[in-house]
Amino acid sequence: MAVDASTDGGQAGTGALLSVALRSLRADTRLGAEITAAGEVAEVRLGQALVLLVDVGTLHRNPLAPYLAAVADGSAGVVLLGTPPTGLVESLPPGATLSVVENPASVESLYVDVHGALARVDLWQRAEEKSRQLNRSRYEMAELVTIARALSQERDIDRLLTLILEKSRFITGADAGSIYVLEGNDPDDRRRTLRFKLSQNDSCKFESSEFTIPVSMRSLSGAAVLTRKPISIADVYEIPSDAPYGFDRSFDEKVGYRTGSMICVPLINAEEEVIGVIQLLNKKREPGRKLATLADFDAQVVPFDVRSEELLQTLASQAGIALENAMLYQEIQTIFEGFVRASVQAIEQRDPTTSGHSLRVSILSCKLAEVVDGVDHGLYAEARFTKRDLKELEYASLLHDFGKIGVREQVLVKAKKLYPHELDSIRSRFDFVGKSAEADVLGRKLELARLGADGAALARLDEELAHRRAELDEAWRVISDSNEPTVLKHGEFGRIAELGAITYSDAAGEVRTLLRLDEVIALQVTRGSLSASEFDEIRSHVSHTYNFLKRIPWGKSFDRVPIIAGSHHERLNGTGYPNRLSAEEIPLQSKIMSIADIYDALTARDRPYKKAMPVEKALDILGFEVKDGHIDAELVRIFREAEVYRIADRDDLTY
């Protein structure tokens, strides 16, 4: 339908107002938008933003209904030209961007309304895109966490490799893939080989068996090992002739497949050693589609993008550690002694502040048990420890903190009340609130300027913005000060609570608090850096110790290792944890270990957060622990009189 260009003063049904508006907009170079007329509705586009110009005089033959779907979700705007009929505005969906220009001949008014509508639509689109990206990131992170958990729980190497490849293809949308494991112990990777372990292919079925290839730059997988970096190729058939690596098409020709895009990512373990390679083929636009014909390959296969590479690297880092753990698990079955000592080292590497603690506790415990075994009078005159008993105590003592692997590392080494990422999140919120305040004031200033307000009114808005910024700065100071692991200043407790009650609207219009409840709780910790729940999490390592060690098949000789290790924080008066055992219920070995554990914690020289306590003062504290009903008085007497503690002063202690 052509635009009615008559000039009858904008009478109903003529489209004259649209004609006037189009002439004004096309003559005004400020807008910089693309303007097209489609029947009696004009489209104004600026980038991705779309605004529809509708002459209300033509609504009787050009109803808005066909356009409501476009504006219902806010993805397009509507500018009504002329005075709309009663009830029309109210009938539009809540999400629509709507402006009314009763006099399109006013160039300035028309420009402001159209420009404003375009800006609002653009803002909505940007917010939607950020929301989509955020939702996608949340989904990806949730998937990676689920995958990481699944990988960490699998101990069978063959099943683990299958899972790694399956999940790698899932997160990248790859049609096919293979996985290689690096073999050989030569430090020069070029003298080692890559063993092809398995392959997966959604579009092509074929028989495969294991084989090895040398590690060299001639193959893409070998190059990934030597460079220790991902290698991504858009189309392996178009690798430049001067590239150090190439692609062998014989597999494609044999099975009737067409390899296009490829990515090879090295699997790196916790010691930063390459232990394998994930090789994925043919990223698809639609992961569920099979590639049955060459036309399918042309239509579906795309290069692996940056995000796919990032996700695959994240998974590969988890997979490398999981694969290494599975290999270690197999070795543990036959090298039991090595497992115990390797486990202790792993614990102390995770929490460097207690390095050497487990070894010293083990040595002190075993020495005290040997002395107790030799006494011929007193409460423990009948107590005896065989070599097996001492070895059982040694293992239990070495692994008494094994449960720390079940405590989040960030809690073990937490320096301040908020974790860095939590403080960054709050900072982002403050920045957003500040920018929102600035945008609000600027918008109001623009409106006042348009209405011809005087300078004093504009100055008041500037003062308002400065005041709001000062409030935010003061709030941030309170948060920064409260975040330190010191005694909370007087009055700051209530101030933090007040900040937790302040609300703002985010980009999606949802009302949120300036501080989340968990952040308020963390900042209101009166002393130190750990909240009550985090302190409980630290204490939970004892339960984790018992639960983890219970799963290990110790055999009849050492079947009491879990209960001995898991009871070293029990107290004679029943106030200990985790089970509040009475004195009669606590194993003698655990009573011995408790003394060794407390003494070493007091006198350790490798704790960066405190100085080592003198021996005599540490022994005095053991005496106070006896008076409080925590530890055994007779064992402390023997520990002191036999000077068992001196054995821990040696500098040549090793695992």
Which of 16-20, 85-89, 166-170, 555-559 is the most confident on average? 166-170
pLDDT for 12: 40
> What is the average pLDDT across 265-278?
89
Spell out the alpha helix ranges (H) of 64-187: 65-71, 88-91, 107-153, 157-172
Does residue 165 sit in the same domain as residue 226? yes
Q: How far is CA 561 from CA 372, 398, 545, 578, in A?
A: 19, 10, 10, 16
- pLDDT category, 651, cuts 50, 70, 90? low
Rounded to whole angstroms, the Cα distance separating 433 from 471 reads: 11
In a domain, 149, yes or no: no
In a domain, 130, yes or no: no
Query: What DSSP designation does 488 have?
Result: P
Which of 26-40, 114-128, 171-185, 638-652 is the most confident on average? 171-185
In a domain, 414, yes or no: no
Using the 3D structure, point to which of 488, 504, 529 is the last residue of a domain: 529
The residue that leads in pLDDT, 263 or 78, is: 263
pLDDT for 100: 81
| φ, ψ dihedrals at 302, nearest 5° | -130, 160
What is the number of other CB atoms lying within 10 angstroms of the CB of residue 117? 25
Which of 47-61, 73-87, 114-128, 419-433 is the most confident on average? 419-433
Rounded to whole angstroms, the Cα distance separating 425 from 421 reads: 6
What is the number of other CB atoms lying within 10 angstroms of the CB of residue 285? 10
Share of the chain above pLDDT 90, in %: 35
Does residue 581 sit in the same domain as residue 613? yes
Q: What is the mean pLDDT of the chain?
A: 84
- pLDDT category, 487, cuts 50, 70, 90? low
Rounded to whole angstroms, the Cα distance separating 578 from 226 reads: 49
Residue type, 380: Y
The residue that leads in pLDDT, 331 or 294, is: 294
Residue type, 376: D
Does residue 263 sit in the same domain as residue 282? yes
- Read off the pLDDT of residues 522-580 as tens digits, 9 standing for 90 and up: 888 887 788 888 888 888 889 999 999 998 888 787 899 999 999 999 999 999 999 99
Is residue 6 pLDDT above 90, yes or no? no
* Residue 160: domain span: 154-331
pLDDT for 332: 57
In a domain, 655, yes or no: no
In a domain, 93, yes or no: yes
Does residue 173 sit in the same domain as residue 299? yes
Does residue 325 sit in the same domain as residue 346? no
Using the 3D structure, point to which of 79, 106, 125 is the last residue of a domain: 125
| φ, ψ dihedrals at 98, nearest 5° | -125, 135
In a domain, 415, yes or no: no
Is residue 602 pLDDT above 50, yes or no? yes
What is the number of other CB atoms lying within 10 angstroms of the CB of residue 435? 10
| φ, ψ dihedrals at 618, nearest 5° | -65, -40
- What CATH number corresponds to the domain at position 325? 3.30.450.40
Token duo for residue 620 = 């005095």
> What is the average pLDDT across 155-159?
82
Is residue 336 pLDDT above 70, yes or no? yes
Is residue 179 pLDDT above 60, yes or no? yes
Q: Strand 174-183 to strand 193-201: parallel, antiparallel, or no bridges (unpaired)?
A: antiparallel
Does residue 283 sit in the same domain as residue 205? yes
Does residue 69 sit in the same domain as residue 186? no
Rounded to whole angstroms, the Cα distance separating 8 from 82 reads: 14
Is residue 94 pLDDT above 70, yes or no? no
Q: How many Cα atoms are found within 13 Å in the side-chain-facing hemisphere of 174?
A: 32
pLDDT for 616: 93
Task: Tell me the CA end-to-end span of the chain in Å, nearest whole number.
Answer: 89
Q: How far is CA 121 from CA 142, 366, 458, in A?
A: 31, 74, 27
Does residue 459 sit in the same domain as residue 548? no
Which of 18-22, 69-73, 153-157, 517-521 is the most confident on average? 517-521
- What CATH number corresponds to the domain at position 367? 1.10.3210.10
Does residue 245 sit in the same domain as residue 167? yes
- The pTM assigned to this predicted structure is 0.42
pLDDT for 148: 75
In a domain, 7, yes or no: no
In a domain, 575, yes or no: yes
> What is the average pLDDT across 504-528?
87
Does residue 114 sit in the same domain as residue 165? no
Does residue 581 sit in the same domain as residue 500? no
pLDDT for 634: 96
The residue that leads in pLDDT, 185 or 474, is: 474
Cα–Cα nearest to 168, from 274, 247, 277:
277
Q: What is residue 196's three-state secondary structure? A: strand
C-alpha angle 199/200/201, rounded to 5°? 130
- pLDDT category, 258, cuts 50, 70, 90? very high
Specify whether the CB–CB gap between 225 and 194 falls below 8 A.
yes
pLDDT for 47: 85
> What is the average pLDDT across 508-530?
87
Cα–Cα nearest to 329, from 95, 528, 137, 159:
159
Whether a cis peptide bond, with omega within 30° of 0, leads into 578 is yes
Is residue 608 pLDDT above 60, yes or no? no
pLDDT for 652: 54
**Overall number of domains in the chain:** 4
Cα–Cα nearest to 277, from 163, 178, 144:
178
pLDDT for 13: 43
Does residue 197 sit in the same domain as residue 269? yes
88 Cβ contact list (under 8 Å, min separation 6): 56, 59, 64, 80
Rounded to whole angstroms, the Cα distance separating 369 from 234 reads: 67
What is the number of other CB atoms lying within 10 angstroms of the CB of residue 36? 10
Rounded to whole angstroms, the Cα distance separating 450 from 108 reads: 10
Q: What is residue 103's three-state secondary structure? A: coil
pLDDT for 91: 65
CA 241: distance to chain centroid?
41
Cα–Cα nearest to 324, from 402, 265, 278, 272:
272
Token duo for residue 297 = 């390959």
Rounded to whole angstroms, the Cα distance separating 502 from 476 reads: 13
Using the 3D structure, point to which of 125, 144, 177 is the last residue of a domain: 125
Q: What is residue 33's three-state secondary structure? A: coil
Q: How many Cα atoms are found within 13 Å in the side-chain-facing hemisphere of 178?
A: 17
